[in-house]
């Protein structure tokens, strides 16, 4: 079904079964598969491929060379009925690739709203991305990665499969992210090492100075305390019941995960 208000260049191919919303613009030499849904006001500039069971949210803009909704690159993947869902108001720049999920792990890749994907970044199968995230040029997310709201990943960084990247964290360019990164954390290097808190990002988010000082103290107690990271976090929890950002970090550490935690020392810690 194609809305009457959609503007489609005659050189583009829209396969039967695709759903094209109101005021969608599809430029030259695009290919839209039969199971694709493009929400209202979506714009595809040119030479964009959207295939698979892919839904693209309203007002998302996709630049030339992007391939959205391709099958998982997992060697053990069956492509049956797997999906990719992209939220509203995303910007997907040149050469970006995003894959559908795998049957073996729930079958769904999910991308939230208001995200910016710079050129040639990659979102692999079964990833879960929140809102207001920035993936800079050539960022590579392996399968099953979780990236929480407002995280920023610097150019050329790579994230290991099943890793969690916490809310409003900052990953430096060319970093290798092998272990979970706490909310508000900063990680740099290869191998990636936690180098403190994203204080600039916290300030821009409106977190006051007194709260930032509390979170810094909590961070030191967690990573410089006498026991393991998780034991230290559990021991100080009651001190920070009135500090939501600190509690967010403590809850993140306490949650079950496939990966260890990034730390200020080389490698991960328990």
The residues annotated as belonging to the active site are: 125-126, 143
Instruction: Enter the tokens of residue 128.
Output: 């879960």
Scanning the structure block, which residue is given the tokens 């935690």? 261
Cα–Cα distance, 83 to 28 (Å, whole number):
25
- For residue 182, give Cα distances in angstroms to 7, 194, 262: 44, 9, 8
Instruction: Enter the tokens of residue 219.
Output: 């961070």
What burial letters (b/e) apply to 34-49, b meaning 16+ CB within 10 Å?
ebbbbbbbbbbbbbbb
Instruction: Enter the tokens of residue 52.
Output: 């698979």
Largest CA distance in the chain: 67
CB of 241 within 8 A of CB of 160? Answer: no
Residue 222: CB atoms within 10 A of its CB come to 25
Task: Using the Cα atoms of residue 78, residue 79, residue 82 and residue 86 in order, give the sign of their dihedral.
Answer: positive
CB of 161 within 8 A of CB of 144? Answer: yes
Give the 3-state secondary structure of residue 182: coil
What one-character-per-residue DSSP string does 215-250 give?
Answer: HHHHHHHHHHSSS-HHHHHHHHGGGGTT-HHHHHHH
Cα–Cα distance, 189 to 262 (Å, whole number):
12
């Amino acid at each position: 079904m194609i809305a009457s208000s959609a503007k489609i260049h005659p050189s583009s191919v829209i396969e039967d079964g695709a759903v094209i919303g109101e005021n969608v613009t599809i430029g030259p030499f695009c290919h839209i598969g039969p199971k694709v849904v493009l929400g209202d006001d979506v714009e595809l500039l040119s030479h964009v491929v959207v295939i698979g069971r892919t839904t693209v949210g309203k007002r998302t803009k996709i630049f030339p060379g992007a391939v959205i909704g391709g099958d998982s690159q997992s060697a053990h993947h069956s492509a049956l009925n797997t999906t990719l869902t992209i939220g509203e108001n995303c910007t997907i720049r040149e050469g970006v690739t995003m894959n559908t999920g795998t049957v073996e792990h729930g079958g769904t890749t999910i991308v939230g709203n208001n995200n910016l994907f710079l050129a040639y970044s990659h979102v692999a199968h079964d990833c879960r991305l929140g809102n207001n995230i920035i993936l800079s040029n050539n960022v590579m997310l392996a399968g099953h990665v979780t990236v929480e709201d407002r995280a920023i990943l610097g150019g050329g960084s790579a994230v290991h499969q099943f890793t969690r990247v916490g809310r409003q964290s900052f990953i430096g360019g060319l970093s290798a992210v092998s272990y979970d990164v706490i909310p508000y954390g900063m990680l740099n290097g290869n191998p990636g090492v936690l180098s403190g808190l994203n204080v600039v990002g916290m300030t821009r988010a409106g977190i006051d100075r007194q709260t930032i000082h509390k979170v810094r103290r909590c961070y030191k107690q967690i990573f410089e305390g006498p026991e393991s990271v998780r034991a230290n976090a559990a021991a100080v929890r009651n001190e920070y019941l009135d500090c939501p950002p600190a509690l967010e970090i403590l809850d993140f550490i306490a949650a079950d995960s496939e990966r260890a935690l990034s730390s200020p020392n080389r490698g991960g810690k328990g």
